[in-house]
Every structure is written in C-alpha cells, then in structure tokens.
Chain A
Amino acid sequence: MENRTIKMTTPLTKEKIKDLNIGDIIELSGVIYTARDAAHNRIKENYENNRKQPIELEYQIIFYVGPTPAKPGKVIGSAAPTTSARMDKYVEMMLKQGITGMIGKGERADYVAELCREYGACYFLSIGGASAMIANQIKDVEVVAYEDLGTESIKRLKVEDLRLIVGIDSKGRTFQEEQVKKYKISK
C-alpha cells in the first residue's frame, strides 16, 4: 500500500486525528456507535427541540451500519457500511454536537469535506459489502437507543482493529477524488 497503517483507540479527539492524511489505513479499537437515516432523524429532532440525546456525542465516531441479526452464539450478524451520502444533510448537526468521525462507504457532497475541515473531523471509508469479515472485527454489541428501529437502532459497538481508510481528512482533502483522477483515462 502507498500509505501507512496506524493503530488508534477511541475516543478520537481532534488532537488525535489532526495529523491523519487521506489514504492512511486505520486499525481502530474501542467503542463506536451506529446510526443511519432513521436514528439521525431522531437525533435531529432532539437537537432542534433542545432535548437530551440518548448518547453523549462528543469525540464519538458514528458508523453508518445496519447489521443482520446475529445467529445463535454470535455477537453480531453481517455488518458493513451503508451509503454515506444519505446522511450528508445531518453531518453539520452531528459535528456541532461534537462527533469527530464518521464511517461509511462512497462519495459525499462537497460540503462534507468543507465541514470536516471546519470542525477538524474525519470521514473514514470501510469496505461496502465485506460484511462477514467486518463482523469479525466487532467484539461486542449493545442496543443503547431506539430499539423499535430494529437494524437502524443506535448500538454501542466494541471494535478491535476495525480496518478503515481515511476518506476525508481534517484538512478537507478527499481520498476518492484524488484516486479516481489517477486512473481516469480521458478521451
């Protein structure tokens, strides 16, 4: 690989992530939280109505994931990132509440890179569809809010060496944009 591999442990403060560069491979351990469309929508409603959030968001990392049910004897079913772009509209609201990173797949709106720069946050890429392997990097799962949302509930995950690539760094640079340019063949 072109870039370095770095082991990191949550919580990720702005200080810890400020020197990360796009393309760095991260092996992340510690506690992270899941949230997707439906949970983000509820967090937004709380935020707009000054209600207490179900989890403390400061310095937290949000993984956009909705796992399959765990088979007996397993901690979790298959789990891998969903399309991040659907959560773009919630990013600023989440950053204002102190999250420092998001994990997902795919490109995001241009303003997300600008927001990462402004708030000193990162967007991490995981591998969409590598769900059986990623499940092995999740060691513990607990539903902490919105159980009624099923797979979309907010879950506290304990991860060990969760493999990520820095997709947008706190300087506002975008990994995918730079890589795609390298391999594009112009007419």
Chain B
Amino acid sequence: MTRIMSTEDLIPVIAKLCMDACYHLSDNVIGALKAAYEKEESPYGRDTLKLLLDNAELASKEEMPVCHDTGMAVVMMEIGEQVSWVGKPLEEAVNDGVRKGYTEGYLRKSVYLDPLNRVNSGDNTPCVLHTEIVTGDKVKITVLPKGGGSENMGTFTNLVPADGVEGVKEFVLKSVLAAGGKACPPIVVGVGIGGTMDKTTLIAKKALLRPIGNRNPNQYYKELEEELLEEINKFGIGPLGMGGRVTALDVHIEYYPCHITSLPVAVNLQCHSVRQATIEL
C-alpha cells in the first residue's frame, strides 16, 4: 500500500525538532552527566559538570539554546519504501523547516555558503541531509545540530589490514587525545570501522545517535567499546579539559563490511551536550 505524504507537512515538524534539540537535553544525557558528576574526583571537573547541569536546566526552562553554537543541522531521515511524496522537492522542504526553526527559534546562523569565500547564508541553511530508504510506510526524522567545537576534531584514516584491532585502538585514542578539551568533554566518541570512506564517516556519525550506555549488540565490538572507554578515561583530560576522571561519557562503535584490502576508521566526536531530537511520522 502506498502512503501519500506531503513534504509541506515536514516543514513545521523539522522546525520544532531544531528548536527542541537546541533547548532540551534528553533524560539520557542528563542522567549521564549526573553520573559523571558523581564519579568525577577533580574539584574543577565537578564544578564544571555542576554548571553544565544547571545550565541545561535553565536552558530548558527558559527555552533558550543550551549552547550558543547551535551548529550546522544534520538531518537524518529513514523513509519507508511505501511512502510517496507530494509537494515541493523533499530537500527543499527540509531546508525550509531548518530555516524556520533557526529563524523563529532564535538559533545561531552559523553556515557559510562557500567554505573559502566565506559568506553567511543568513538562515543556517543548507542542512546536511542523509536519507535512507527502509521497509514499511513510516518516516523517521532525526535532527542533530552539530557544533564546530567537537565536529572539527573528527578524524579519518585508512589503516592497512595488518594494523588490525590494535591499529584501530591506537587511532581512536590518538584522536581523542589530540581533541583534548577543545571538543568540549565529557564527549561521546562515535567510531565507524569498515565500509568505504563515505560509509565509514557516516556510520561514525550514526554511532552518536545511540543512547549513552547502550552497547553494540555484537559481543566483540561491545568489549572493544568498553575497553576504549576505560582507556580514554585514563587520559585525565576531564570535563572541558580541566583535568579529571571523566573524559568520555561513552564510546559507540558501528561497523560495516569492507574490501579485502581495506581497514578504514573514522572518529566523530560529540560534545557533552548531546543535542538531538527525533520523531516518527
């Protein structure tokens, strides 16, 4: 059965997701920051975490952005194959929603139309849109406002198969160490292993969507996540790089089949304010 949907109906929905993601941290994130506060031993680190928790509460109450860097909007859509669209082109409607959300929600306009001849678009469009066709007749939309602090610390490398899991661990740890306090820890570390260059970086970003505390269902990768999390928290970087026990809230690994000659790895970092909003239509 075909389900007819209008792209116009997406505009207010995406606008609201942009605002919700920037104003309200999820219970999952608040819970993780509270647990970090309990665990942290550094007085500066504890003080920082307390401020971040107070800040999240204030932002939500006042409906103002948790962080001034309301990011470039990454919009991920899972579209059921039975859905048929009417109305304006999908990407145009999604950008209309982002424009509406960032304008009416008093969010920061942080997008340059050209990376070298830097002129601000004035309305935070375009977004980065990823669409995926899935089974069924539903549409799932996630908005991930991605700030520069953590996004700019992302890394990618092509290891050789002989580097193996030890090479992967070394690359992830090196990436987190280089990011230090600049990525606004405590961070969530999204790791993509396998695929081709484009796929590797995309699954590293998708890894950030998994709730904090949830492990990869594959036992091997679950254990690798746990090992990396423990190693990262030995670095001493701590909240905002002020020193401390909690540098990462979690490590999430996603993997994908790859070519016989390949072992690509991508690391996408997410700051302490894990801002995202999702809806299923």
Residues of A within 8 A of B (CB): 1-2, 23, 38, 65-71, 77-80, 82-83, 85, 105-107, 125, 127-133, 135-136, 149-151, 165, 175-176, 178-187
- List chain A residues, Cβ under 8 A from B120: 149-150
Cβ A68 vs Cβ B106 within 8 A: yes
Instruction: Determine the main DSSP class of B at the interface with A.
Output: loop
- List chain B residues, Cβ under 8 A from A82: 69, 148-149
A82-B69, A131-B68, A133-B54 given as contacts; is B236 within 8 A of A182 (CB)?
yes
Partner of A107, one of B152, B182, B245: B182
A99 to B45, CA, bound (A): 29
- Chain A CB within 8 A of B170 CB: no
A151-B108, A180-B235 given as contacts; is B65 within 8 A of A78 (CB)?
yes
A135 to B240, CA, bound (A): 19
A68-B68, A82-B149 given as contacts; is B109 within 8 A of A151 (CB)?
yes
Cβ B236 vs Cβ A65 within 8 A: no
Q: Which of B37-77 contact A (CB under 8 A)?
A: 41-45, 47-48, 51-52, 54-55, 58-59, 62, 64-70
- The 25 sampled A-B contact pairs (Cβ below 8 Å) are A38-B118, A67-B108, A77-B68, A79-B68, A82-B69, A105-B182, A106-B240, A127-B52, A128-B181, A128-B271, A129-B52, A129-B67, A129-B149, A130-B51, A130-B55, A133-B54, A136-B58, A165-B44, A176-B180, A180-B235, A180-B236, A180-B237, A182-B236, A183-B243, A186-B234
A181 to B44, CA, bound (A): 14
- List chain A residues, Cβ under 8 A from B273: 129
A182 to chain B, nearest CB (A): 6
User: Given A107-B182, A129-B273, 7 other A-B contacts at CB below 8 A?
Assistant: A68-B106, A68-B108, A106-B182, A127-B51, A180-B235, A183-B245, A185-B234
- Chain A CB within 8 A of B242 CB: yes
- List chain B residues, Cβ under 8 A from A133: 51, 54-55, 58
Q: Which of B59, B181, B237, B238 has the most CB of A within 10 A?
A: B181
Residues of B within 8 A of A (CB): 41-45, 47-48, 51-52, 54-55, 58-59, 62, 64-70, 106-110, 118, 120, 122, 148-149, 152, 180-182, 184, 234-238, 240-245, 271-273
Cβ A68 vs Cβ B44 within 8 A: no
A76 to B199, CA, bound (A): 40
Cβ B184 vs Cβ A135 within 8 A: no
Cβ B55 vs Cβ A176 within 8 A: no
Cβ B65 vs Cβ A181 within 8 A: no
Cβ A184 vs Cβ B68 within 8 A: no
B189 to chain A, nearest CB (A): 17
Cβ A70 vs Cβ B242 within 8 A: no
Cβ A78 vs Cβ B240 within 8 A: no
A4 to B237, CA, bound (A): 22
Cβ A132 vs Cβ B234 within 8 A: no
- List chain B residues, Cβ under 8 A from A149: 120
- List chain A residues, Cβ under 8 A from B70: 68
Q: Which residue of B lies closest to A76 (CB)?
A: B68
Q: Which residue of B lies closest to A175 (CB)?
A: B242
- List chain B residues, Cβ under 8 A from A69: 106-108
